[in-house]
Chain A
Amino acid sequence: DTAVSQTPKYLVTQMGNDKSIKCEQNLGHDTMYWYKQDSKKFLKIMFSYNNKELIINETVPNRFSPKSPDKAHLNLHINSLELGDSAVYFCASSHLDRDFSPLHFGNGTRLTVT
């Protein structure tokens, strides 16, 4: 009955490779997000999708491409991985149109680029 699930939990890969992280939510939320958490534990928004439409696209290299096939899924594809991409990536979801709707996070994907 996991609310927001993302896979894989750990991802170790070499520089230059292309990888994907998948995220699914079963909460019926209309908005999904990708956050990057750096070594200092600071969470930074990368993308946000509402009903499959991109609504937030922060300054992120275009090697990162989100894809939302439906409201319950938001995947993150990363091309030509670099050492600086190593971090923990969190998927989250919420109700955009409900006041005070909290963010529900997945348990993260730890990406290590060697």
Chain B
Amino acid sequence: KNQVEQSPQSLIILEGKNCTLQCNYTVSPFSNLRWYKQDTGRGPVSLTIMTFSENTKSNGRYTATLDADTKQSSLHITASQLSDSASYICVVSPNTGNQFYFGTGTSLTVIP
């Protein structure tokens, strides 16, 4: 069964600190994995995409990693800011058809 699991479910960190969010998936065959950020009251917005051949990719203070062998991805946030408070959703796509498998998300709260 194609599934995407994220951990932790929620996280509270101090402003300026780093954190890492995890995503494990069983989706097969694998095409790509995206991390989305969802601010309160808004729709999710794509942060970064990881394809099969990519191990790491950065987008500003966000760095995503992918281990296609163990089917794990992580999103590392450096020097967190209050505006990083949001839900982060991992979405995996197989290479067949028009499918997106959503994780349950990690709710991140950055406090001053």
Contact = CB atoms under 8 A, between A and B. Distances in A.
Given A90-B43, A92-B43, A108-B43, A103 B100 contact: yes
Contacts of A102: 34, 46, 49
A102 B100 CA distance: 10
Interface residues of B, number: 22
A38 B20 CA distance: 25
A37 B98 CA distance: 19
A96 B105 contact: no
Contact of A100 (B38, B42, B51, B107): B51
Given A102-B34, A102-B49, A4 B43 contact: yes
Nearest to B91: A103
B105 A42 contact: yes
A85 B34 CA distance: 28
Given A100-B32, A100-B51, A102-B34, A41 B105 contact: yes
A31 B98 contact: yes
A34 interface: no
A50 interface: yes
Given A100-B32, A100-B51, A102-B34, A42 B102 contact: yes
Contacts of B31: 100
Given A41-B87, A43-B89, A102-B46, A107 B104 contact: no
Q: Determine the main DSSP class of B at the interface with A.
A: strand
Nearest to A103: B100
A45 interface: yes
Interface in A23-81: 31, 40-45, 48, 50, 55-56
Interface in B67-112: 87, 89, 91, 98, 100, 102, 104-105, 107
3 closest cross-chain pairs (CB), A and B: A105-B43, A102-B46, A43-B102
Interface of B: 31-32, 34, 36, 38, 41-46, 49, 51, 87, 89, 91, 98, 100, 102, 104-105, 107
